[in-house]
Chain A
Amino acid sequence: MTLAPQQTSVQPVDSVTVTVDGIDVRVPKGMLVIRVAELMGIEIPRFCDHPLLDPVAACRMCLIEIEGQGKPQPACAVTVSDGMVIKTQRTSEMAEHAQEGVMEFLLLNHPLDCPICDKGGECPLQNQAMTAGRPEARFEENRRTFPKPINVSAQILLDRERCVSCARCTRFAEQIAGDPMLELLERGAQQQVGIGPDAPFDSYYSGNTIQICPVGALTSSLYRFRSRPFDLVSTPTTCEHCASGCALRTDVRRGVVTRRLAWDDPEVNEEWNCDKGRFAFLYNADGRLETPLVREDGELRVASWPEAVDIAARGLAAARGRAGVMLGGRLTREDAYAYAKFARLALDTNDIDFRNRLSSDEEAQFLASSVAGRPLGPTYADLESAPFVLLVGLETEDESPIIFLRLRKASREGRIRVQSISAVRTRALDKMQATWWPCQPGNEAWALRQIIDGPQGADALAGLRQPGAVILVGERLAAVPGALSAAAALASATGAQLAWVPRRAGERGALDAGALPALLPGGRQVADATARAQVAAAWGVDSSVIPTAPGRAAAAMIDAVLGDRKRGDADEEPSVKALVVAGLDVEDYPDADDLRRALDAVPFLVAVSSHHNEVTERADVVFPAAVVAEKAGSFTDWEGRVRPFGPAIREASSVADGRILGMIADVMDVPFGSGDFASLRAELDALTPSTTDRSAAPTVSSSTIQAPGSGYALLSTWRLLLDRGRLQEGEPHLAATARPTEAVMSRATAESLGVANSATVTLSTDSGAVTLPLSIGDVADGSVWAPLNSEGSALLGIGATYGSVVRVTGGAA
């Protein structure tokens, strides 16, 4: 890895001169006529054309005249050549007449249901019918009709009579998502979009087809008939689900989020997003905390803000120096920074951790050395142009769907080789034409070392040595001792770029904001006096104010609370007397029972949360926090790119976390500032990136794991994109498109476990068991895959997680 700024090499482009509507213009050779016109501000009407899909020239709406050609030509499919004289509908009667003809044809069989159609008001057909259509219809025959609508999936509905057969949806499914379950069927006027029998449009990206449909043929169960476009107030936002950083547009109707669309950001999500980002937003409204709560006589009661702030401030002031902060992974960058600052200034502690998941000290060391505070990169563009990408512990489609789309795009164009070290050969790997390296969960460190040391790694080694090669590591490598050390060593040995891809939107931002025990904002080290001085100067305090004692990670904080209690020594002051817990779902913690006991045991608990949950019900003071849609903020995506957003619901009365901390700090008389969004962002931007020294990468050694005993298997698991996640609640149609909850293993493993003929298998630990349908697939021998947090497969609840040894038996428990 190198810190040198990226070289931007400008490739010389062959250019040609063409004339469009009498204007000479010099453009790159091979450009499509329709793109040239766009550049010049000339709009040629179109339906099937989409800049990210292969040209098909099916709708014929974009017919234009090219001098020397007897017939009108489709602007979306003809590439420019030198001296070409192009006349659009503005200057060519032939083009104008041809476009009028096509528009008339398109409207023949199109129903006149604009007043009830979701697309009405934002419909390319409607708009272009106004510009290119005739004032009166000449068609007197019977219109073609179809029974309406049909479900192509639980979420996507199709009204066939509205379809203009532009094939955008089918091309998206096949070309972009790689899920070709949507196809044109029948022929002639009966041609229609459809699915196979019992083969729904099973794609994580299905919602994009609705957005690119140029008519109202595709609608979602969630939005259908809910609103008219002109009743919506739209705000550009950023997706709060994963770390892909998608630009979105959030549409609000009367103060309620009604729809979300993928917005156009060529550097990041292009024009796509995943169905979770599009449809999982109903949590915004359901089950919200509305007022502060305080505990009185063992019960939570409603309190005023001043009262709650006062109680929290007094409780935390009493515990100053013995308080910790535990955060979830979805805080905005500014809010995470507020907690990092609050912990140091108000609580006088470095006990802060945003990793409410599997984590390790090795990971913290890795993040400090290789990720925190790094400038942008590798980027999506780097992935797209990379000759070779190695995935380790990362299932792109489930954990960062836009990374998958980029890798698939590059692989479809034949520019990239993808290899994956994983226990499971997934559908995504096949769609990227990736090479699968079967690897038992827990053996990743060994596999990474094999690339340099082992004979079978020569191909990957050569790939990684190519300029531009990238290694992507997923967050579950934290569960594998030595894996992140090995990844860092491999990157420095080969010169490949290394990127860490967290699963949650807020993690990279929280890391850069200093929400880890050993890190201050900008990736600065707590142990580094210069770094502390820089931060203290930015905060306007003396550098001695910033605590120097090493902080504790979440697990150590829990141990401290429980250990104190276990000791039961009344004379010994507990080392953690108060916890501030924000945006955290207890069930996500690998040992949830430990966390619950700690939350019960800690003498003073402040919860900041948008929703009622297991933390708020144990808290002494509860503050209702704004959700993403209600506040301004930013997320840092996996690239390190800051993705700012404004409030979509401007009239919301809720308060962001930073401002809550500001109120508490004010009462505590701590020089924290008001905690308002603008000042938090300005401070954090000034602190980023850091120029202080970094710590060294971890060098945790690894050994190959022991084969599980007879009747046992190693568990590979991750969260499916669509699962029991709290933010997906309330949307049954989305949930119905989730991939099946099943246990997958190889035939050899199933046979050796004696379950090959069972329809279901039971995975059990000392704490419990889950029973799942068995599916035979490509899984590394000796291991079994099951979803971590799906309905009927809440594996953390039975104490099983990535790399656990589970007992496998046939049938139900």
Chain B
Amino acid sequence: MTPLTPVITAHWDEPDYFTLEGYRRFGGYRALAKALTMEPDAIIGTVKDSGLRGRGGAGFPTGLKWSFVPQNDGKPHYLVVNADESEPGACKDVPIMMANPHALVEGVIISSYAIRAQHAFIYIRGEVPQAIRRVAAAVREAEQAGLIGDNIQGSGFNLRVTVHSGAGAYICGEETALLDSLEGRRGQPRLKPPFPATHGLYAVPTVVNNVETIANIPWIVNNGVEWFRQFGTEKSPGFKVFAVSGHVNRPGIYEAPLGITMRELLDYAGGVRGGDGTVKFWIPGGSSVPMLTADHLDTPLTYEAMAEAGTMLGTGTPMVFNNTISVVKAVTRWLEFYKHESCGKCTPCREGTYWITGVLERFEHGAGTDPDMKLLEEVCGQIAGRSFCALGDAAATPYPAALKYFRDEFVLATHTPVDETFPPVAGYVFSEVAAR
């Protein structure tokens, strides 16, 4: 059994860990002191060597991303933290910001120093005001302690940090839409190239990183590449904040090395709750990645193994479904989400999600047809790879995977409403509700 490896989450049970004092008591901001004695390029090199991959979903190597920022170009640089966690099923960035905001702040300062940014922005999802307040408070504390501001700890490095609240759009988690939103425009993805590394916020070099990615930085700087690489695999080094949710007995945050299996995480989470106690299907990291079944419980949760299994690690927030759940219904809910959140910019995503949702809603009411199954596959195929950004691609993933593993349920839904084949009452949490 792979042991859990609490690093970012190690001291979350300390009541004051979210304060500067609490964070410092357990070694907080030592990495910053060390980083400020290093050459910025050396920090980029360390992060590169560590093999840290972006924790926002795409898994792009962080150090490589940083090295794309042109240096000595006479322009301001910006670091933007993507804290717009809105993926259905994903709940890891908000807990990190709530329980360990200073790890994020320390990471922001070190990362900014490395890429020569003098202004960093933390773009937080607008629906979580408590996280915004907490991060803002941590930034304020750090400012008062001289960790943010002019000439930080006598290093000559100046930094301002701005905490910005989103206004409730999933698309603003897409990095270029986030930049547009941050600039005060309507959040829609930008044409790439040019990429943010050269033309990002206000058209200057910008690095956009996920909260968890940045929160990893202090530990990597403090403990070094060797230490970091002892966790995980060659291609997926390090540890990951796995947020397990759905039909499990102990949903929550489990920090473990990459490469742990879902079966192990399920054990930590107390096994499947409800239904017949088995996993019907699960998603490794948000609704944007194709679903897997009980057959894949022993597949390592790494970027490469998930890709091999036909899915993606995504945000690394597995969601588990027991046998009381209709796949048709689950997919319909997800597609309704994408239809609602499609920004409207490109045709395939805007119109395709509208179409798929309409057809799926018919299936949900037992009014799908046999040709509709094929049609939906084709429509998904016409969205994936044709849309402007990854939102369209994501919207096209749930249905094909569901059809692959659970074709029978769609056939059932050509004549019987899913609420009859899968009575919602069977999945209710409280037995007394079920009894009524």
Contact with B along A60-73 (1 / 0, CB 8 A): 11010000001110
Roughly how many angstroms separate A237 CA and B152 CA in the complex, as a whole number?
68
Q: Does B355 contact A (CB under 8 A)?
A: yes
Interface set, chain A 96-144, CB cutoff 8 A to B: 97-98, 101-102, 104-106, 108-109, 138-142, 144
Roughly how many angstroms separate A138 CA and B343 CA in the complex, as a whole number?
24
Q: Does A191 contact B (CB under 8 A)?
A: yes
Main secondary structure of the interface of B (DSSP, over half): helix
Q: Does B171 contact A (CB under 8 A)?
A: yes
Which residues of chain A are near B339, meaning CB under 8 Å? Answer: 188-189
Q: Contact partner of B345 among A63, A77, A109, A165, CB < 8 A?
A: A165
Contact with B along A760-801 (1 / 0, CB 8 A): 000000000000000000000000000000000000000000
Roughly how many angstroms separate A61 CA and B386 CA in the complex, as a whole number?
10
Q: Contact partner of A142 among B358, B381, B386, CB < 8 A?
A: B358
Q: Does B186 contact A (CB under 8 A)?
A: yes
Q: Does B350 contact A (CB under 8 A)?
A: yes
Q: Contact partner of A98 among B191, B352, B386, CB < 8 A?
A: B386
Roughly how many angstroms separate A60 CA and B346 CA in the complex, as a whole number?
7
Roughly how many angstroms separate A97 CA and B340 CA in the complex, as a whole number?
27
Which residues of chain A are near B359, meaning CB under 8 Å? Answer: 140-141
Q: Does A184 contact B (CB under 8 A)?
A: yes
Which residues of chain B are near A59, meaning CB under 8 Å? Answer: 346-347
Which residues of chain A are near B388, meaning CB under 8 Å? Answer: 57-58, 60
Evaluate contact between A57 and B382: CB separation under 8 angstroms: no
Main secondary structure of the interface of A (DSSP, over half): loop
Q: Does B394 contact A (CB under 8 A)?
A: no
Evaluate contact between B354 and A101: CB separation under 8 angstroms: no
Evaluate contact between A184 and B186: CB separation under 8 angstroms: yes
Which residues of chain A are near B355, meaning CB under 8 Å? Answer: 105, 108, 139, 141
Which residues of chain B are near A58, meaning CB under 8 Å? Answer: 345-347, 388
Q: Does A190 contact B (CB under 8 A)?
A: yes
Evaluate contact between B358 and A141: CB separation under 8 angstroms: yes
Which residues of chain A are near B191, meaning CB under 8 Å? Answer: 55-57, 77
Name the residue of chain B whose CB is nearest to the CB of A190.
Answer: B344
Q: Does B317 contact A (CB under 8 A)?
A: no
Interface set, chain B 335-369, CB cutoff 8 A to A: 339-348, 350-355, 358-359, 362
Evaluate contact between A165 and B347: CB separation under 8 angstroms: yes
Roughly how many angstroms separate A61 CA and B382 CA in the complex, as a whole number?
12
Name the residue of chain B whose CB is nearest to the CB of A101.
Answer: B382
Evaluate contact between A184 and B344: CB separation under 8 angstroms: yes
**Cβ distance B430 to chain A, nearest Cβ, rounded Å:** 35
Q: Contact partner of B344 among A97, A102, A141, A186, CB < 8 A?
A: A186
Q: Does B10 contact A (CB under 8 A)?
A: no
**Cβ distance B143 to chain A, nearest Cβ, rounded Å:** 36
Roughly how many angstroms separate A109 CA and B353 CA in the complex, as a whole number?
12
Q: Does A566 contact B (CB under 8 A)?
A: no
Q: A72-B386, A187-B344 are in contact. Are A105 and B351 (CB under 8 A)?
A: yes
Q: A101-B382, A108-B354, A141-B359 are in contact. Are A61 and B347 (CB under 8 A)?
A: yes
Roughly how many angstroms separate A241 CA and B339 CA in the complex, as a whole number?
49
Which residues of chain A are near B270, meaning CB under 8 Å? Answer: none
Q: Does A164 contact B (CB under 8 A)?
A: yes
Q: Does B103 contact A (CB under 8 A)?
A: no
Q: Does A183 contact B (CB under 8 A)?
A: yes
Evaluate contact between A60 and B347: CB separation under 8 angstroms: yes
Which residues of chain B are near A142, meaning CB under 8 Å? Answer: 358
Name the residue of chain B whose CB is nearest to the CB of A97.
Answer: B382
Contact with A along B386-413 (1 / 0, CB 8 A): 1110000000000000000000000000
Roughly how many angstroms separate A102 CA and B353 CA in the complex, as a whole number?
13
Which residues of chain B are near A77, meaning CB under 8 Å? Answer: 191
Roughly how many angstroms separate A70 CA and B352 CA in the complex, as a whole number?
21
**Cβ distance A499 to chain B, nearest Cβ, rounded Å:** 34
Which residues of chain B are near A104, meaning CB under 8 Å? Answer: 382
Q: Does B310 contact A (CB under 8 A)?
A: no
Evaluate contact between B348 and A189: CB separation under 8 angstroms: no
Q: Does B313 contact A (CB under 8 A)?
A: no
Which residues of chain A are near B358, meaning CB under 8 Å? Answer: 140-142
Q: Does B169 contact A (CB under 8 A)?
A: yes
Q: A105-B351, A109-B354, A164-B347 are in contact. Are A187 and B385 (CB under 8 A)?
A: no
**Cβ distance A167 to chain B, nearest Cβ, rounded Å:** 8
Q: Contact partner of A60 among B169, B186, B342, B387, CB < 8 A?
A: B387
Evaluate contact between A183 and B375: CB separation under 8 angstroms: no
Which residues of chain B are near A97, meaning CB under 8 Å? Answer: 382
Q: A58-B346, A58-B388, A60-B347 are in contact. Are A105 and B382 (CB under 8 A)?
A: yes
Which residues of chain B are near A138, meaning CB under 8 Å? Answer: 375
**Cβ distance A392 to chain B, nearest Cβ, rounded Å:** 34
Evaluate contact between B342 and A188: CB separation under 8 angstroms: yes
Interface set, chain B 73-108, CB cutoff 8 A to A: none
Roughly how many angstroms separate A187 CA and B351 CA in the complex, as a whole number?
11
Roughly how many angstroms separate A57 CA and B344 CA in the complex, as a whole number?
13
Which residues of chain A are near B350, meaning CB under 8 Å? Answer: 105, 165, 188-189, 191
Evaluate contact between A101 and B340: CB separation under 8 angstroms: no
Evaluate contact between A102 and B348: CB separation under 8 angstroms: yes
Which residues of chain B are near A98, meaning CB under 8 Å? Answer: 382, 386
Q: A56-B191, A189-B342, A191-B344 are in contact. Are A106 and B386 (CB under 8 A)?
A: no
Roughly how many angstroms separate A120 CA and B289 CA in the complex, as a whole number?
43
Roughly how many angstroms separate A325 CA and B406 CA in the complex, as a whole number?
91
Roughly how many angstroms separate A189 CA and B335 CA in the complex, as a whole number?
13
Q: Contact partner of A71 among B341, B345, B347, B386, CB < 8 A?
A: B386
Evaluate contact between B347 and A188: CB separation under 8 angstroms: no
Which residues of chain A are near B348, meaning CB under 8 Å? Answer: 60, 101-102, 105
Roughly how many angstroms separate A59 CA and B346 CA in the complex, as a whole number?
5
Which residues of chain A are near B347, meaning CB under 8 Å? Answer: 58-61, 102, 105-106, 164-165
Name the residue of chain B whose CB is nearest to the CB of A103.
Answer: B347
**Cβ distance B374 to chain A, nearest Cβ, rounded Å:** 10
Evaluate contact between B351 and A109: CB separation under 8 angstroms: yes
Which residues of chain A are near B341, meaning CB under 8 Å? Answer: 187-188
Which residues of chain B are near A164, meaning CB under 8 Å? Answer: 347
Roughly how many angstroms separate A55 CA and B190 CA in the complex, as a whole number?
11
Which residues of chain B are near A72, meaning CB under 8 Å? Answer: 385-386
Name the residue of chain A whose CB is nearest to the CB of B353.
Answer: A188
Q: A108-B354, A144-B354 are in contact. Are A188 and B385 (CB under 8 A)?
A: no
Evaluate contact between B385 and A70: CB separation under 8 angstroms: yes
Contact with A along B52-70 (1 / 0, CB 8 A): 0000000000000000000
**Cβ distance B391 to chain A, nearest Cβ, rounded Å:** 10
Name the residue of chain B whose CB is nearest to the CB of A110.
Answer: B351
Q: Contact partner of B385 among A71, A105, A106, A141, CB < 8 A?
A: A71
Contact with A along B372-388 (1 / 0, CB 8 A): 00010000011001111
Which residues of chain A are near B344, meaning CB under 8 Å? Answer: 165, 184, 186-191
Pick the most buried of B343, B347, B350, B359: most chain A CB atoms within 10 A of its CB.
B347
Roughly how many angstroms separate A59 CA and B388 CA in the complex, as a whole number?
9
**Cβ distance B351 to chain A, nearest Cβ, rounded Å:** 4
Which residues of chain B are near A184, meaning CB under 8 Å? Answer: 186, 344
Roughly how many angstroms separate A108 CA and B346 CA in the complex, as a whole number?
14
Name the residue of chain B whose CB is nearest to the CB of A183.
Answer: B186
Pick the most buried of A58, A61, A186, A189: most chain B CB atoms within 10 A of its CB.
A189
Contact with B along A717-761 (1 / 0, CB 8 A): 000000000000000000000000000000000000000000000
Name the residue of chain B whose CB is nearest to the CB of A108.
Answer: B351
7 shortest interchain CB distances as A-B pairs: A191-B344, A101-B382, A141-B358, A105-B351, A71-B385, A188-B342, A189-B354
- Could you jot down 8 A-B contacts, CB within 8 Å? A71-B386, A98-B382, A105-B348, A105-B352, A106-B351, A187-B171, A187-B342, A188-B344
Binding site for A on B (CB under 8 A): 169, 171, 186, 191, 339-348, 350-355, 358-359, 362, 375, 381-382, 385-388
- Give me 19 other A-B pairs in contact (C-beta within 8 A), A57-B346, A101-B381, A105-B382 excluded: A55-B191, A57-B191, A57-B388, A58-B347, A60-B387, A60-B388, A61-B347, A71-B386, A97-B382, A105-B351, A109-B354, A141-B355, A165-B350, A184-B186, A187-B169, A187-B344, A188-B354, A190-B344, A191-B350
